[in-house]
Structure 1
Amino acid sequence: MRLGYFAMPLHRPGRLWTETLHEDREAVILADRLGFHDAFIGEHLTDNLENITNSMLFLATLVNDAPRIKLATGTTNLSHQHPALVAANAAMFDHLTGGRFIFGISPGALPSDAEVLGILDEDRNAMFAEAIEVILKIWEGEPPYDIVSASGRFNVSTRRSMDLPLGVGYLPKPLQSPRPEIVGTVVAPFSKGVVEMGRKDFHPLSANFLLPQWVATHWGKYVEGKQAAGVEADPADWRIARTVFVADTEQEARAYGRDDANSPYRFYYEQMLRKMTKLGRLGLFKRDRNEPDEAITIERVLDDLVICGTAEQVAEQLVAFQEETGPFGELVYAGLDWVDEKLARRSMELMATEVMPLVERHGSGA
């Protein structure tokens, strides 16, 4: 099983932006040194706490400082800009990384991002579906393209102005052929979007804030899409993110991982509870869809979604988790605010050097 890294990222209020950007870079550099397979970075325009506004721009600063790890947008919000811009910039980034680019995509979920761009009342899921089709056609096509999108919003052509002998009218293609790996984050139980991912040979990444029972619903949907395309689904293509903290002692793990008032894990899920309540998506935290909202407390969410302990304890919890979901190809470690840099770094180190070998040993029957 591969080990990946994912950060939304979410920082405490009052921290300097320069400081948190530096911290987020250091986390990816550390992941690279520890042999993590890839690093996904999220983006928002209008969230003061999740303050990376463009994941591709941020990742470009890491091309040389993290020279081995694959660099992944997690995600590029496709409703936010014209797909021709995304296609061109992603193609260039793939060349800058030497083919280490993973193209993570989503519609863009934050309403305030949509409002500031004047698309709050638009169907952003439809815009997303339209945009990715245009991007793929650009990468597959040649000038003058003449791409007509479903709504006409994203039509692409260079017919009137191209001068091919002069080199004008071309849109760039990625280094990887026929395209970079495309990954979609899945944030809903029984997601129909996962079926489409299977059909289109995109790969799912199940969100870290979903209960194990809801994560387990994604594989069947992916298989359904693959079968529709006449292809066998490969568990190696499925990534699952989890919120994990590993420490040298159980006491340290419990304190920093959930119990202390200053715990970044507690802060993260307090924020997620508030956001999902406001968005009307509190059901993500329900063990049963008929549960009343009052049953969802921060203590229960931490019990359900934070995996913490010593290396041996975390490995045991991850093995039990995998038995509930079935096989998958990559465990994606969720990166949080570094309230204590030493503990945060140590957790990533223990995850790579002790937890994953224990999980692998269990999988091999050793």
Structure 2
Amino acid sequence: MRSLRDEPQHSPKKGTPMKLGYFAMPLHPLGRTWAETLQEDREAVILADQLGFHDAFIGEHLTDAHENITNSLLFQATLIAETSQIKLGTGTTNLSHMHPALVAANSAMFDHLSGGRLILGVSPGALSSDAEALGILDEDRTKMFADAVDVITAIWEREAPYDIAFEGNQFPVSTRRTQDDAMGLGSLHKPLQQPRPEIVGTVVAPFSKGVIAMGQKDFHPLSANFLLPQWVATHWPNYVQGKELAGVTAEPADWRIARTIFVADTEAEAREYAVSAENSPYRFYYKQMLTKMQKLGRVELFKTSRDEPDEAVTLERVLDHLVIAGTPESVTEQLLAFRERVGAFGEIVYAGLDWVDEARARRSMELMATKVLPAVNDAIGETQ
């Protein structure tokens, strides 16, 4: 029998078409050269642009040999001239890693360089080895994140000399002592998109209270691909609560959900590449994620209930619960069933993995864009 938490928290709406996005942490096996994996990650975003994906988010870490993009904004800047319509998102910019004035200024320049295609994805920065390398391991990075968000948005909203010094703010910003309008000194640049680019927060925990703050601040949530459907469903009520606190109605179109998907021409090929093959990038990805969460004491992310014993969480079960694989028809059915479970949302975000087999990886993205998404949107009442 299904429990109440298995039921969607809001009903899927007819006529609300999904967009298609792309997200990569990215995560590569050891042994490949850095130049090779960086180029592969670039080619994935270029392909997504050619296929009509709405946006692409790329993650960043400083000290992870597997997740080896150190600055997502810098990486995405290399793609501005090689893409034409896709929005380029940081996935995320880790706000504890640099002063928010740098984030605001560099992001504004990126927005102009890209013709207004920036999406600023933000998070505190979760990797402890990154924090140690920067000398902030013992700092309250959640507080640093909250202060940085307020400083970035204030810089974009205000004019020089800014005087951003709210109570407890660790990053006061002012140019009052040195501002010289005649010389053009003292003003930080504004982004091209006004009043600001879209800001997105990745949600990686069940019942996340951070989603409430996203609703209040008009940021948009992106639910992580490694969360079980029942935990993804807990994000929407919190987003609604945040919007209500701001006196605004929450729109499902603003909610992105990432899923780990592989689409193939046959069920046998899909099953083999996504689950059973020893060199499956999907198997590698979730083996790494499971090991990492066990080390961090967060294996509950993969549990079907919080009181389930740790030993019940196996790699095979994780793959079974979190990988959506099959032919276009099968994947369409699985995504519609997922939508029935969590409720309506605005964008399905395709999780990009290592290209063990480049032809299969490209074919999966192609089928997702040309077959699956149109079929999903037909089923929910309107073609894309």
Q: Which amino acid aligns with 1:229?
A: A
Counterpart-to-counterpart distance in 1, 2:318 and 2:184: 56
SS at match of 1:253: helix
1:27-38 superposed matches below 5 A: 27-38=44-55
What RMSD, in angstroms, separates the aligned Cα atoms of the two structures? 0.9
Which residue of structure 2 aligns with residue 266 of structure 1?
283
- Give the superposition deviation at 1:67: 1.3
TM (normalized to structure 1)?
0.99
Three-state SS of the structure 1 residue aligned to 2:125 is coil
Q: How does 1:95-110 map to 2 (within 5 A)?
A: 95-110=112-127
Distance 1:365 1:67, change over 3 A: closer
Q: Give the one of 83, 89, 99 matched to 2:100.
A: 83
Change beyond 3 A, Cα 1:150–1:268 = farther
Give the distance between the partners of 2:148 and 2:127, measured in 1 at CA. Answer: 18
Mapped partners of 1:293, 1:212: distance in 2? 19
Mapped pair 1:241 → 2:258: yes
Corresponding residue to 2:184 among 137, 147, 167:
167
- Alignment-derived partner of residue 7 in structure 2: none
Letter of the 1:90 partner, please give it: S
- Identify unmatched segments of 5+ residues in structure 1: none
Measure how far apart 1:150 and its partner are. Answer: 4.0
Find the aligned partners of 2:57 and 2:309 in 1 and give their Cα distance.
34
Ranked by relative contact order (alpha carbons within 8 Å, sequence separation 6 or more), the top structure is: 2
| Counterpart position of 1:148 | 165
1:226 counterpart residue number: 243
Q: CA deviation at 1:83?
A: 0.4
Task: Measure how far apart 1:323 and its partner are.
Answer: 0.2
CA deviation after TM superposition for structure 1 residue 104, in Å: 0.4
Task: Check if 1:126 corresponds to 2:147.
Answer: no
The equivalent position to 2:83 in structure 1, one of 63, 66, 78, is 66
Which residue in 2 is equivalent to 1:277? 294
Match of 2:204 in 1: 187
Partner in structure 2 of residue 200 of structure 1: 217
Are positions 1:310 and 2:327 aligned together?
yes
Give the counterpart of 1:338 among 326, 333, 355. 355
Which aligned runs of 4 or more in structure 1 are off by greater than 3 angstroms?
149-152
Correspondent of 2:133 among 97, 113, 116: 116
Q: Secondary structure at the match of 1:153?
A: coil
Contact 1:240 1:328 in 2 (8 A): yes
Deviation at 1:162, TM superposition (A): 1.5
Give the aligned residue type for 1:275. K
State the partner residue of 2:5.
none
1:76 counterpart letter in structure 2: T
Q: Of 42, 62, 69, which aligns to 1:52? A: 69
Q: Using the alignment, how far apart are the partners of 1:218 and 1:156 within structure 2?
A: 33
Deviations 1:187-234 (A, max 9, x none): 011110000000110000000000000000111110000011110000
Matches of 2:378 and 2:52 in 1, distance apart? Answer: 18
Distance of 2:320 and 2:46 partners within structure 1: 30
- Rounded to whole Å, the distance in 1 between the matches of 2:382 and 2:193 is 36
Match of 1:176 in 2: 193
Structure 2: distance between partners of 1:201 and 1:210:
23
Where does residue 9 of structure 2 map in the other structure?
A: none
Cα distance in 1 between the residues matched to 2:357 and 2:34: 17
Q: Which amino acid aligns with 1:25?
A: R
1:357 aligned to 2:374? yes
Secondary structure of 2:318's counterpart equals helix
Report the AA paired with residue 78 of structure 2. Answer: T
Report the CA distance between 1:149 and its aligned residue.
4.6
Cα distance between partner residues in 1 of 2:219 and 2:266: 40
1:66, distance to aligned residue in structure 2 (A): 1.0
The one-letter code sitting in structure 1 at the alignment partner of 2:181 is L
Task: Output the CA distance in 1 between the equivalents of 2:301 and 2:139.
Answer: 24
Q: Whole-Å Cα distance in 1 between the matches of residues 363 and 112 of structure 2?
A: 33
Size of the alignment, in residue pairs? 366
Closer, same or farther: CA 150–41 of 1 in aligned 2, 3 Å: farther
Aligned to 2:21: 4
On the 8 A contact 1:39/1:72 being kept in 2, the answer is: yes
Moved more, 274-283 or 334-343: 274-283
Question: Percent of counterpart pairs with the same letter?
Answer: 72
Q: Return 5+ residue gaps in structure 2 as ranges.
A: 1-17
Q: SS of the counterpart of 2:233? A: helix
The Cα offsets for residues 59-90 of structure 1, whole Å up to 9 and x where unpaired, read as 00000101110000000000000000000000
CA distance in 1, matches of 2:84, 2:370: 20
Secondary structure of the residue that 1:308 maps to in structure 2?
A: strand
Instruction: Tell me the distance in 2 between the aligned counterparts of 1:153 and 1:204.
Output: 25
Task: For 1:129, give the aligned amino acid.
Answer: A
Conserved? CA contact 1:130–1:149, under 8 Å: no
Query: What code does the residue aligned with 2:82 have?
Result: D
